[in-house]
Every structure is written in C-alpha cells, then in structure tokens.
Amino acid sequence: MDMGGNVGTQSTTIFARGLALGHIKLEKIWKHIGREMAIGALIGMILGLLAGTGAYFWQGAPNDLPLIGLAVGLSLIIVLPLASFLGFFIPYLLLKMGWDHAPGADPFITTIKDFVGLTLYFTLVSVFIGV
C-alpha cells in the first residue's frame, strides 16, 4: 500500500515542476489530472497483477480461489489512480485557496490514501474470505 504514497508524492512533484516551468495550465487542470490518473491506473494494473500473483503464491488459494491475491491486486488497481488524483488535486486546491501547494500536499495525500487503501484492502479481504 505504500506504493500509493510513492505515486501520490511523485504526482505532486510533477505538478509542482510542471507549474513552475509553465507546462501545467491551471485552466486545463482536469486534462492534466486525467492524464496523471491514467498513468496511475496503468501502474496500478501492472503492480496489482504482480503483487496479486505474489500474494497468491505466498498465501495460497483458500477454497481453491486466489482471493487474497485478488484483494491485494484490486486494492492496488484502485489506490494508485486515487493517489495520482490526490497528487495533482490537493496541490491545485491548496494553490486555489492561496496557500503554498508544495509542503502541505504530501501529508494530506498520505493520510487520505492510507485510510482509503487500508479500508479498501481489509473490506475486500473481509468480503472475499469472510474474515
């Protein structure tokens, strides 16, 4: 789940750098956010498949179904685009509020992403395995 923090922090860095260099136009923020989320989704699918497969081989398949691996994989597939979104949207929101976007974004991103990611993971495990 820490990958979400890495992805969110990287997105924040891309936002700050792009804004400073003039590559990001605030009036086209949703286009930039969409592109960043697509990249986060692609990374999520790749890492979700790898981590889900790893969890399957590590934990096995209770009831002959790879449910733990599925919970791990789906969690990554959902959390990484969310982290990408937060990495762009929170700095943008802070900037719109008149605050410095750089130092304040990471704590918010990490807190929201951790809460959502862990809740999602444990909910999926609970639903799939009945724990």
CATH code of 28's domain: 1.10.357.20
pLDDT value for 112 = 84
pLDDT tens readout for residues 27-67? 999 999 999 999 999 999 999 999 888 888 887 666 666 67
Nearest to 105 by CA among 131, 82, 87, 129: 87
Domain holding 39, by residue range, is 2-129
pLDDT tens readout for residues 5-20? 888 888 888 998 998 8
Count structural domains, the chain.
1
